[in-house]
Structure formats: C-alpha cells, structure tokens
C-alpha cells in the first residue's frame, strides 16, 4: 500500500466486525453481493472475515478473494500459525491480499486474558508477523486495546513488528474508551517515538461505546493517521464501529479543515446503507447522520422556506452526493415498463441485476403498483432487497387471512410451503399479528422466542408500505428478519418467516 500524504485509505470491516453485531450473520451470497457493492463504493480494503473461525467463514473469504477484483481483500488472524495459514489459504488468489493479525497490548488483557508478560507478547507479535510476511508482503498488525495500553510498550511492539515485515500498524480503541483530544495525543506520541514509523501506514479502528468513534477517527487523521477502519451504518460489536458514511462525508464536507481526501464513490452510500440494513435486518434510525430517513428532511416552515430559496441555507450536503434523488422522484407507477424500472434501478446504484433478478423485482413492482398510486425510491429498494438478497427459503408464505376488531376475537388463517409441502393452519391471539405468528409457529414447529418487534412506514400516506423488523432467538442463536408489504400483518409474517429461515440456515 503506497502511502499518499493527502489520502486516507478506507478499510471496510462490515463483513467481519460488522457481522459480529448480534443477529447480523450473513451467508455467502449476502457477503458476496455486499462485497460487490463495496467495490462500487471504491473501498480500498475489504476485511472479508475471520477465516479460521469456521468453515463457512473460510469459504466466504475465499469466494470474495477469488472473485472480487479491484480491491485489496484481507482476513483476520490471531498471532498463531494455524490462523495465519487459514487466512493465507483463503486469501492467496486475491489481488495484493493482506493478512491482518492482532494481539492485545494492554496490561488488563495481558493479566486477565493472555496470562503473558510484555516480553512474551513482544516475541509472539514479532514471530507471527514474520510468519505472515513470509506469505505476503502486505501484513497489518493490530495492538488490541491499544488506547488502554502503556504507550511506550506499544511503541516497542510497533517498532519491532515493522522490522519484522508489517506495513500497516493499527491502533484500535477496542473498547471505545478514548476521547478525541486524548486519542489525537496518543497518535502524535506514536509518530514521535517510533523511529521507523515512516516505513508503515498508521491506522485506527474505533468503537462507538461513548458515541465518539467518528470524532476519534477524525482527530486521528488530523494527527497523522492515513487508514481508518469503518463499517457501513456503523454496525459492529456493542455500540458499533466508525460509520464509513459519516467519516467520508465529514472529510468531504469539511475539506477546508481536514486537508485530506478519500477515493470513495459517495453516490453509492445510500444504496449501500439500505443493502446492509436489509441483509442484517438492522434498521437505520430516522435521525441517523447521512443515511437516516430524516437526514435531509425539513419540517419547520422556516427551514422549508430557506431550502426552497437556496438549498445551502439548511443543507450542508447535497442529497445527490450520497445517491439520493432530490425531492424523492415519483416517476414510476403501474403503467411503467421493465425498461423504465431497470433504468431507475441503475440510477439508484443497482445496475448489476441479472435478468432473473430483474424479472422478480419487476413482478413484485407490478403487484405493489396496482395497490399503491405512486412509487418512490424507498419502495423500489424495499422490493429489490427483499427479492434479490435471499437466503434459502424452507418456509414460504402462500397466503394469509386475518380477522380483528374491537369486538372480534383476533384470528389468522395461514397457508405455508414447508420444505416443499403445503401446510395450513389457524390460530387466535391477542391481536392479528400475534394470531398470525402463533399459526406460523405451529406450522413450522419452531421453539424460537421473539425478542424484538418493530414496525415502520417506508413511505408516507395511508397506502405506504409497512416495514417490520423482528429479532428471534433459538438455542442461543439470535437472528433478525425483515419484511415489507402494504399490509402490515403480511409484512410481519414475511419478517417472521425470514427470521425462521435464517435460523434454519444457521443450524445447517
């Protein structure tokens, strides 16, 4: 990786650290499609997974490294030969593959987790980096829990691993503990006290436990860091990671102060955000910066008046810059044809659909257009992501009928395809959704527990599509499901079935 003074390399770990969000497990098809989207975004490095973690993770990393071109692909490895061998086997056919190995350096981790001395950690870090460098010259070393480590010890380790062959040094705020001024001072200390720091690129990986991941990453860039590890929508363990879209747009919007650039194709930010949300089932909060539904919405009369006269009065970014259509175009309806739909999807950033995928999307589009007068981008995204990003469907909804009212016992009749066999049943409940879920549970035989249920409107109006998110747990496995439909009970059933299908996939 050639260091450029004014460029910040974006290292995306949505497929690895992002997938560690509870319930956000992705299958091979989902990971591959998201990797393709990351290439459109012009991400510099994709961390595709942790190859030694499981056979499935190994296959996902290998599939991406073998077939995704135009980007560096990396896999995570602990500091041992087994992990490094697995990472290399998965990565070796990629373009300039990178091995990313890590070891904790804080006394907290040394004492309670590793049961090692500092000298032992130093020796293990050096020997592991040397071994990784024998596979590829592109080696990254991370000092886990670096912000709570003794900085002089981190300097010793970093100096030694550079001599051993590491080309990228990652200084993670693993617990999201640091404050921006403190974090910047730590970065400056490293730069001033590592004699051979000019032979490597300095990187950061910030967690958001105090809501400061993006702020800390920006402070680190100002202090001299030139790689930042991010995830789309900021997903990740606990409170998540540095949100790629927020970091990139902050650098772009405040170029006057940052004096750096990224190579991200920002027009793909919004469709990429929607794709991650659909795959993981983790909704984006409406007030989320950059990609939230309200990020470019103006309800105040004063704000509306100002924006109509001059957009920059209240908008510091142009919605088009992240792939949103200004004003939300209403260009498609029930009389629109396949070509118009394909062109609109291309404009939205979904150009790589196969004919089969386009046919599925078009069929669903026609069904919805007969019910809904006008179609906006969000409607199309809900259809596309529901139809294209798929997991094997053991359970499929054929039909659903529900009855409810203030003086009527809520009841639902459900017909499903279960492993290719048609089944039907009915149940009563405290409401129509509860009765539908009870009927589905009886037909599928699931013993899962519903942990979370949320309903939102994708678009405005009484004919809007409803979007349902559920989180379901079974035997320690937690998954999410998402469903969208103009009928909210049907949307809920779809979300529940998608979660149950995901559970069955995990069991296999």
- Residue by residue, DSSP assigns 92-107 as TTSSS-EEEEEEE-SH
For residue 386, what pLDDT is reported?
Answer: 65
pTM > 0.85: no
pLDDT tens for each residue of the chain, 508 residues long: 656 779 999 999 999 998 887 767 788 888 999 999 999 999 999 999 999 999 999 999 999 999 999 999 999 999 999 999 999 999 999 999 999 999 999 999 999 999 999 999 999 999 999 999 999 999 999 999 999 999 999 999 999 999 999 999 999 999 999 999 999 999 999 999 999 999 999 999 999 999 999 999 999 999 999 999 999 999 999 999 999 999 999 999 999 999 999 999 999 999 899 889 878 878 888 889 998 877 776 444 454 456 456 667 767 888 888 887 654 433 467 777 787 788 778 776 677 788 888 888 888 888 877 776 666 666 776 677 667 766 678 999 999 999 988 888 999 999 999 999 999 999 999 999 999 999 999 999 999 999 889 888 776 677 778 888 888 888 877 777 888 888 999 999 999 998 898 888 777 7
- How much is the pLDDT for 326? 54
SS3 assignment, position 470: strand
Angle at CA 132, nearest 5°, toward 131 and 138?
145
User: Do residues 189 and 153 touch, judged by C-beta distance below 8 A?
Assistant: no
Enter the DSSP assignment of 241: B
Q: What is the pLDDT of residue 197?
A: 97
* Residue 308: partners with Cβ closer than 8 Å, 6 or more residues away: none
Q: What is the CB neighbour count within 10 angstroms for residue 130?
A: 15
User: Cα angle vertex 160, ends 159, 163, to 5°?
Assistant: 90
Q: How far apart are CA 88 and CA 114, in angstroms?
A: 24
Domain span(s) for CATH 3.30.160.270 in the chain: 395-507
Query: Rounded to an integer, what distance in angstroms lies between the CA atom of residue 187 and that of residue 205?
Result: 12
Only one residue has tokens 């809501």, namely 211
CA distances from residue 302 to 123, 271, 287, 310, 386 in whole angstroms, order as listed? 63, 30, 19, 12, 38
Residue 334 buriedness (CB in 10 A; 0-12 / 13-18 / 19+): middle
CATH 3.20.20.70 boundaries in the chain: 9-280
Spell out where 108-226 has E strands: 139-144, 168-173, 201-206
Beta-ladder partners of 395:
418
Give yes or no for a contact between 298 and 304, defined as CB atoms under 8 angstroms apart. Answer: yes
Residue 101 forms beta bridges with which residues? 77, 141
Instruction: For domain 9-280, give the fold.
Output: TIM Barrel (3.20.20)
> Cα–Cα–Cα angle for 174, 177, 179, nearest 5°?
125
> Is the CATH number 3.30.160.270 carried by domain 395-507?
yes
For residue 479 the two structure tokens come to 């998954």
Q: Per the structure block, which two tokens stand in for 107?
A: 């006394």
Residue 133, helix vs strand vs coil? helix
Q: Residue 320: what are its φ and ψ, rounded to 5°?
A: -60, -30
């Amino acid at each position: 990786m050639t260091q450029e003074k004014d460029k910040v390399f974006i290292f995306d770990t949505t497929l690895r650290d992002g997938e560690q969000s509870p319930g956000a497990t992705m299958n091979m098809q989902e990971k591959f499609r998201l990797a393709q989207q990351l290439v459109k975004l012009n991400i510099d490095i994709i961390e595709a997974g942790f190859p030694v973690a499981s056979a499935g993770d190994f296959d996902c990393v290998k599939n991406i490294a073998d077939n995704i071109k135009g980007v560096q692909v990396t896999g995570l490895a602990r500091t041992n030969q087994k992990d490094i061998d697995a990472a290399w086997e998965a990565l070796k056919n990629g373009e300039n593959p990178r091995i990313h190995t890590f070891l904790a350096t804080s006394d907290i981790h040394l004492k309670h987790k590793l049961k090692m001395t500092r000298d032992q950690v130093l020796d293990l870090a050096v020997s592991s980096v040397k071994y990784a460098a024998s596979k590829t010259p592109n080696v990254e070393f991370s000092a886990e829990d670096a912000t709570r480590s003794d900085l002089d010890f981190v300097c010793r380790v970093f100096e030694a691993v550079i001599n051993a062959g590491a080309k990228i040094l990652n200084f993670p705020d693993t617990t999201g503990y640091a404050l921006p001024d403190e974090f910047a001072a730590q970065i400056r200390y490293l730069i001033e006290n590592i004699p051979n720091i000019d032979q490597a690129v300095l990187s950061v990986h910030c967690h958001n436990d105090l809501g400061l991941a993006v702020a800390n990453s920006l402070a680190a860039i100002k202090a001299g860091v030139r790689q930042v590890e991010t995830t789309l929508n900021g997903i990740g363990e606990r409170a998540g990671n540095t949100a790629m879209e927020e970091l990139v747009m902050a650098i772009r919007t405040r170029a006057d102060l940052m004096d750096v650039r990224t190579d991200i194709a920002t027009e793909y930010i919004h469709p990429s955000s929607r794709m991650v949300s659909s795959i993981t089932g983790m909704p984006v909060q409406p007030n989320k910066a950059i990609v939230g539904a309200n990020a470019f919405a103006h309800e105040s009369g004063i704000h509306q008046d100002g924006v109509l006269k001059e957009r920059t009065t209240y908008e510091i970014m142009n919605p088009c810059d992240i792939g949103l259509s200004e004003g939300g175009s209403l260009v498609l309806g029930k009389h629109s044809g396949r070509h118009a739909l394909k062109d609109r999807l291309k404009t939205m950033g979904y150009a790589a659909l196969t004919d089969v995928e386009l046919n599925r999307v078009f069929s669903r589009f026609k069904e919805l257009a007969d019910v809904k007068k006008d179609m906006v981008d969000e409607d199309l995204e809900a259809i596309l992501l529901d139809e294209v990003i798929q997991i094997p469907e053991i359970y499929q909804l054929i039909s659903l009928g529900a009855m409810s009212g203030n003086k009527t016992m809520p009841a639902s009749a459900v017909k499903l395809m279960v492993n290719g066999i048609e089944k039907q049943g009915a149940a009563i409940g405290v409401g129509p959704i509860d009765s539908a879920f009870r009927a589905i549970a009886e037909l599928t035989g699931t013993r899962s527990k519903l942990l979370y249920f949320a309903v939102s409107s994708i678009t405005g109006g009484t004919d809007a599509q409803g979007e349902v998110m559920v989180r379901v747990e079974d035997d320690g496995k937690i998954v999410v499901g998402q469903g969208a439909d103009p009928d909210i009970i049907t949307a809920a059933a779809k979300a529940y079935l998608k979660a149950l299908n995901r559970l069955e996939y995990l069991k296999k």
